Structure 1
Amino acid sequence: MRRVLRQDGFVILTCPDLQAIGERLSAGDLDTALYTSRSGPVSRLDMLYGFRPSMKQGNLSMAHHTDFTLKSLAEACTRTGFAKFLGLRRPRRYDLWGLATKARIPDEAIRELGKIDLRPI
Structure 2
Amino acid sequence: MAKKRLLNAGAGSTTARRILPLLTSADWEEVRLDLDREMNPDIVGSLTDISRLFPPASFDGIWCSHAIEHLFAHEVHPTFVQFRQILKPDGFALILCPDLEAVAQHLLKHGLADIAYSSPAGPIRPLDMLYGHSRAIEEGRHYMAHKTGFTAERLGTMLRGAGFAQVSVRDENFELCALALMPGAPATKIETELFACGFDFRNGAT
Q: Secondary structure at the match of 1:14?
A: strand
Look up the equivalent residue of 2:117 and give its one-letter code: Y
Deviates more, 1:27-36 or 1:72-81: 27-36
Quote how far apart the aligned CAs of 1:28 are: 5.7
Contact kept in structure 2, 1:88 and 1:97, CA below 8 Å: yes
Q: Does 1:13 align with 2:124?
A: no
TM-score, normalization by structure 1: 0.84
What are the residue-to-residue correspondences of 1:1-121 with 2, within 5 Å? Answer: 1-27=83-109, 29-90=111-172, 93-103=173-183, 108=188, 111-115=191-195
Q: What is the CA–CA distance in structure 1 between the aligned matches of 2:136 and 2:128, rounded to whole Å?
A: 10
- What is the total number of aligned residue pairs between the two structures? 116
Contact kept in structure 1, 2:133 and 2:145, CA below 8 Å: yes
Quote how far apart the aligned CAs of 1:33 are: 1.0
Deviates more, 1:51-60 or 1:100-109: 100-109
Q: Note the alpha carbon deviations across 1:48-84, whole angstroms, 9 max, x for none.
A: 0110100111112321121111111100101111111
Percent sequence identity is 33
Q: Note the alpha carbon deviations across 1:23-48, whole angstroms, 9 max, x for none.
A: 11212610111111111111001000
Q: Secondary structure at the match of 1:103?
A: coil
Q: Secondary structure at the match of 1:71?
A: helix
Q: What is the CA–CA distance in structure 1 between the aligned matches of 2:171 and 2:145, rounded to whole Å?
A: 22
TM-score, normalization by structure 2: 0.51
The structure showing larger relative contact order (alpha-carbon pairs under 8 Å, at least 6 residues apart) is 1
| Structure 2 residues not aligned, in runs of 5+ | 1-82, 198-206
Look up the equivalent residue of 2:141 and give its one-letter code: N
Contact kept in structure 2, 1:99 and 1:110, CA below 8 Å: no
User: Could you say which residue in structure 1 is the equivalent of 2:13?
Assistant: none
Q: What is the CA–CA distance in structure 2 between the aligned matches of 1:83 and 1:108, rounded to whole Å?
A: 15
Contact kept in structure 2, 1:85 and 1:100, CA below 8 Å: yes
